[in-house]
Structure 1
Amino acid sequence: MGASLESNLNLGREVMDVHGYCDERFARVRDVFVENFTDRGDVGACFAVSLEGEFVVDLWGGYQDAARRRPWQKDTIVNVYSSTKPMAAICALMLADRGQLDLEAPVANYWPEFAHNGKDRVLVKHLMSHSAGLPGFSRAFTTEELCDWDFCCSDLAAQATWWEAGKQSGYHVITQGYLIGEVVRRITGQSIGQYFKTEVADKLGADFHIGMDPADFGRIADLIAAAEPTPLLDLDPDSIPGRALAGLDLSPETAASTGWRQAEIPAGNGHGNARSIVRAQTAMANSGSAFGVELLSAAGCAKALELQTEGLDLVVGIPVKYALGFALPSAKLPVSPNANTLFWGGKGGSTVMVDTDARVCSSYVMNQMDNFMMPGPRGQALSDAVYESLAVIS
């Protein structure tokens, strides 16, 4: 279905190769991918799209490093930050679909210690929609502490909620992964990284990892810090965003550390590329099946679309429509023309898009970070090109 692509870009004195394939119906996507390098500052990147469960775009190009000495390869992977969250979500949705997890049940049914400090009424679905009222820890944690699973989960179990669970949402930047992951561990006996590997990645051939093997460190691209200033948030240390983000170091230097790479931080340290994200998430756009594997039922996929909260996010300060494990398009985040679209993104610009109306799944992954609100100009330009191409096809 795909047309092979071998082309060169002239970037000043540099000559960069763009590789992969692109169905000619999506030629506009290929053009925009090139424009991201020539006009929008990409250094190394990849973009992939599936339609009706089959790849129609799989492009990569540029360099793994700021010095432009290591070309981006087909198997290059990179830390995608919060684009890891849909991987944690699909694990929980699969367990719910199999009858092993009740999304309407109290978290304490699976994790008894969690009931401490009045949290017996926090439901599993609240974890999935950033409405559990636990967007941060009891104090600022070091990166070393974030890499200690039991330490993080014990802190979250001991806390009281910061607001009444389920009433409103506040982005659980790093804590969501531990919360969902501990429920998965209590049910399956496996860490969420292990469960994702055996039940999703291995079955679909998705080169995505929550917890890296050092043997694969050599193919991880360097993250390059954003040139744009960080958006100003209310970081009063006593405010909800100030407490939620206290001490959180999500710098490229931290991402390159051995401890961060090897830990399981399912809200923020997944490593993969656009192809692997699309492999893992395509089933969600196609009634539960992808690449010859049934991950969950059509009803299980539809469950993810149920609106949980809508309104001002208490941490990021903008209105967000939260479903189960994903967000839905809104006036502030018009990422898709189709209402039944699930999406999320990662710090710096990576994206995950699951359009159940068009049966399209797409992902953009890069190493040159930015500080724009998701999906950022590069990811949005590629998404727009996908929809332009779909409009022509239909």
Structure 2
Amino acid sequence: MGQESGISAAAPVEGFVADGYDKVLEAFQRLVHDGRETGAGVSVWRDGREVVRLNGGWADAARHRAWRTDTLVQPYSLSKAFVTLAALVAVRDGALTLDEPIAGYWPAYGVRGKEHTTLRQVLTHRAGQPRFPDEAAGLDLLDDAGLRESLVQAAPEYAPGTSLGEHALTYGHLVDGILRAGAGTTLGELFNGVIRPALGLDAWFGVPDDALERVADLEYADPEWPRRLHAAPWLQIPDGTLDVERANSRAWRQAVFGAVNLHTTATAMARFFSRLIEADGPVRALLGPELHAELLASQVTDVDEVFGTRITWTLGFVRDRGKIAKGGIGGSAAWWSLKHHHGCAYVTRRLDDHSRAAEIAAALGDDLSVVGED
């Protein structure tokens, strides 16, 4: 790739870019200099090597901690890709199946029109439970058992398999309930005990004590941002998922809310996506060739009511001709470029739309359309 160019530690942005990636540096510097970004990381991996690593702004609201390569941040729905992996590991082990009714191992769930719901329908956001029911409105954000039970008792909004809408907050609780019933384990245990070490990820569901000092504080770009979102109707129950004071609490960071609260770094996400499709890569080694193919294959194309546009879902990712990707509300995104063969990640603590990640993608020649709920 040629000699890497360093960036002055005195500059608002620090890190490095390899030859040929100067446009990425220029785009990121503009975001920081213009105040559109107050804390973020960018990473690009190609051919087994990190060719871009950029850190900009601050990790804390008080502007005392500079953003570092090891800064952890919550990327919201980017978390869902790793919930999917947990479910597929249980399928790999024979504890679950993709196409048999969930009720076969979680009988309590199989009521009120959910008798034939399958794990594949859950993983492709067609299970008919894209949000928690009204009956869950009084539950605390961290009441895992109560929120799972609300999904058990609720009727689906539409017959499973007949419509599409990202299960914005419910995805992790559904998979966690399935894992508890069918595999005798939890989402947190399976991710942190099996997936994270197998893939070498600097990522956590439930940040350990010794990593808490690395976590970035979330902040709004505009206090009105949560109310302007297309996805707002799907994010209202339970109260507090977009409350930055709650999100910045130790209790939240050490909890497991699978749909949104993985905490990770840009480097970890870009490296993961850079090896996502490899025939001899760690994801295929983890899942086996058949489930790896299932993970990446297009499963359903339709108008996603939460996104508000027509998209194609795999098991856990959004896919089009140019990329395999996943984004999160607030602006974080990661993707594998099918065109340019690099893995990329933009993670941010400043909650806004995806225009910042899109500008980084454009500097790489990628199109980041439709990666998350704006």
TM-score scaled by length of structure 2: 0.86
* CA shift in 2, pair 1:224/1:305, >3 Å: same
1:131 partnered with 2:105: no
1:227 partnered with 2:219: no
Aligned structure 1 segments of 4 or more residues deviating by more than 6 angstroms = none
1:366 partnered with 2:348: yes
Shift of 1:173: 1.0
1:301 partnered with 2:296: no
Instruction: State the alpha-carbon separation in 1 of the partners of residues 20 and 48 from structure 2.
Output: 16
Instruction: State the alpha-carbon separation in 1 of the partners of residues 149 and 308 from structure 2.
Output: 28
* CA shift in 2, pair 1:166/1:128, >3 Å: same
Shift of 1:156: 0.9
Shift of 1:84: 0.7
The one-letter code of the counterpart of 1:254 is R
Residue correspondence of structure 1 range 103-252 to structure 2 within 5 A: 103-139=98-134, 141=136, 145-227=140-222, 229-230=224-225, 232=228, 242=233, 245-249=236-240, 250-252=242-244
- The answer to whether the 8 Å contact 2:100/2:119 transfers is yes
Shift of 1:115: 0.8
SS in 2 for 1:344: strand
Shift of 1:195: 1.1
Instruction: State the alpha-carbon separation in 1 of the partners of residues 357 and 12 from structure 2.
Output: 20
| Equivalent position of 1:12 in the other structure | none
The one-letter code of the counterpart of 2:45 is S
SS in 2 for 1:75: coil
**Structure 1 residues without counterparts, runs of 5 or longer:** 10-14, 236-240, 330-336, 389-394
| Equivalent position of 1:34 in the other structure | 29
| Equivalent position of 2:334 in the other structure | 352
Instruction: State the alpha-carbon separation in 2 of the partners of residues 27 and 305 from structure 1.
Output: 31
Q: Deviations over 1:302-344 (max 9, x none)?
A: 3123333333323343323222112223xxxxxxx52xx3212
Segment drifting more, 35-44 vs 297-306: 297-306
| Amino-acid identity (%) | 28
SS in 2 for 1:352: strand
* CA shift in 2, pair 1:294/1:195, >3 Å: same
- The answer to whether the 8 Å contact 2:331/2:348 transfers is yes
* CA shift in 2, pair 1:233/1:69, >3 Å: closer
| Equivalent position of 2:49 in the other structure | 54
| Equivalent position of 2:371 in the other structure | none
> CA RMSD, aligned part only?
2.9
- The answer to whether the 8 Å contact 1:282/1:290 transfers is no
SS in 2 for 1:307: coil
| Equivalent position of 2:270 in the other structure | 278
The one-letter code of the counterpart of 1:311 is D
| Equivalent position of 1:253 in the other structure | 245
Instruction: State the alpha-carbon separation in 2 of the partners of residues 288 and 163 from structure 1.
Output: 40
- The answer to whether the 8 Å contact 1:170/1:314 transfers is yes
Shift of 1:99: 4.6
* Equivalent position to 1:377, from 329, 349, 355: 355
**Structure 2 residues without counterparts, runs of 5 or longer:** 367-374
Shift of 1:79: 1.6
| Equivalent position of 1:319 in the other structure | 310
Segment drifting more, 110-119 vs 128-137: 110-119
| Equivalent position of 2:259 in the other structure | 267
The aligned length equals 364
Instruction: State the alpha-carbon separation in 1 of the partners of residues 121 and 70 from structure 2.
Output: 36
TM-score scaled by length of structure 1: 0.82
- The answer to whether the 8 Å contact 2:69/2:267 transfers is no
SS in 2 for 1:64: coil
Segment drifting more, 133-142 vs 55-64: 133-142
SS in 2 for 1:37: helix
1:43 partnered with 2:38: yes
Shift of 1:97: 4.5
- The answer to whether the 8 Å contact 1:284/1:301 transfers is no
Segment drifting more, 136-145 vs 170-179: 136-145
SS in 2 for 1:342: strand
The one-letter code of the counterpart of 1:103 is L
